[in-house]
Amino acid sequence: MQYNSTELMTVVASRILKNSDVCFVGIGLPSAACNLARLTHAPDITLIYESGTIQTKPDVLPLSIGDGELCETALTTVSVPEMFSYWLQGGRITVGFLGGAQIDKFGNINTTVVGDYYKPKVRLPGGGGAPEIAAFCHTIYVIMKQSPRAFVDKVDFITSFGHGDGPDQRKAMGLNTSGPSKIITDLCIMETEEATGEFIVTSIHPGVARETIQENTGWKIRFAEEVAITDAPELEELEALRLLNEKTKMAHQG
């Protein structure tokens, strides 16, 4: 069955989630991946959105954290202060799923500005709750399309802290969570190398050359000693994703 790179990336990202996860979900690709997991292999996953919705089961993907679909399909909705102070800072969320405009080899994410902070080329939407999610979730997964503009040697601004500039930085900052551990792109999967805190390629998507990955990465990319080939999407996964996207398109256009 034919599929595009966005579908592949979304399916691959969904697979890393477990039925037992309590997951703080970002809008966009993270939301698509998390809900695909819920609709396929992880029906009991607990999805939490920043607006305070717990055990959310949207029929269509939300446009924002304020989308009414989230409250209408959640088990319950709590206040934002309770969500962040009790659930997130209380260590009750296993996974944070984020995206961003820029990411570097240590998993630091920028959603604030491109260029100089005081005279930026582009002013981005900002962090929202992502800085706290990156700090307090037990682990972080990132999903982003790969390009030299997005995968940079050094982010212009650290909105969400990854591993700083090495493996001991989180501990030095007083953070006891593991931070970003996987980046899923439209080309490959990257994972954190424990010794350096740097992201290296551990799996390459079907038909993608190593040279293509390097061309779309702003730092000298390294590959694991054993690099896997990513499994292609299965029919069930693609059908569930396409139905979700079609429902979303019809709901938002209507």
Dihedral sign of CA atoms 231, 236, 239, 242 in order: negative
132 is catalytic: no
* Nearest-5° Cα angle at 247, 241 to 249: 100
Contacts of 5 (CB under 8 A, 6+ apart): 145, 186, 187, 205
- CATH no. for residue 66? 3.40.1080.10
Distance CA 158, CA 104 (A): 10
Here the tokens at position 122 are: 């582009």
Here the tokens at position 220 are: 């000298």
The single residue of 7, 50, 132, 198 carrying the catalytic annotation is 50
3-class SS of residue 143: strand
Over its length of 254 residues, how does the chain's per-residue pLDDT go in tens digits? 799 999 999 999 999 999 999 999 998 999 999 999 999 999 999 999 999 999 999 999 999 888 889 999 999 999 999 999 999 999 999 999 999 999 999 999 999 999 999 999 999 989 889 999 999 999 999 999 999 999 999 999 999 999 999 988 999 999 999 999 999 999 999 999 999 999 999 999 999 999 999 999 999 999 999 999 999 999 999 999 999 999 999 988 86
Question: Which residues constitute the domain of residue 156?
Answer: 5-253
pTM over 0.85: yes
Please give the tally of structural domains in the chain: 1
